[in-house]
Amino acid sequence: MRFSAGALWAIAIVLVVLLTGCFKVATTTYSSATDERSLGVQVEDTRISAKIKRGLLETGVKNAMALDVFCHRGVVVLAGVAEPKVAEQSVAIAQKVEGVKRVETYLLPERPASARDLAISIKIKARIVGDRDLKSSQVDIAVIAGHVVLAGLVDSQAKIDRFVGHAQAVEGVVDVTPFIQLTSQ
């Protein structure tokens, strides 16, 4: 049986789409299974993050897409680039969302080199993935002008220290601010 070049391209595209979807399902399943939070808490935290992001966009917060929104057990971390007025608006929006217990921020007024920040983030993630005692899905990472923000939930102070240590070991990191909660708290 012979296929035309167009048919082969169509088959290739369908396979790529299917494999990409399988990869997304696999990584999402892995993240959910290795998370210290129950599935119900994960769903609630995702709902809270989504409502905050939607609120930022709907109210026209300047550079809303430049803000990372992390939520773990109702504790929200806003990290990114925001002028003071925008930071105040963002916190006010987050505090109004049902289920939010506390809002923490790590906001800088400008981001001079986003490509450098991306490289730092990738290096930190690689170090964490290489550590058999840590699960990369437990901690979210934001890098803003070399400042690293870690947000997540782990079961021991030793793991918090290891996450922070991996971030501090990467060249170009200015400082590390952990908003990592312990499951016992």
Give 12-47 pLDDT, tens digit per residue. 566 565 556 544 444 444 455 567 778 898 999 999
Cα distances (angstroms) measured from residue 58 to each of 11, 52, 90: 40, 10, 12
* Residue 18, token pair as written in the block: 């299917």
Q: How many helices (H) and strands (E) does the chain have?
A: 5, 6
pLDDT value at 129 more than 70 = yes
Q: What is the pLDDT of residue 1?
A: 57
Three-state secondary structure call for residue 99 = coil
Pairwise CA distance, residues 41 & 68, whole Å: 19
Give 134-163 pLDDT, tens digit per residue. 998 899 999 999 999 999 999 999 999 999
Q: What is the pLDDT of residue 167?
A: 97
Q: What is the pLDDT of residue 26?
A: 42
Give the bridge partners for 109, in sequence order. Answer: none
Mean pLDDT of the chain: 85
pLDDT value at 106 more than 80 = yes
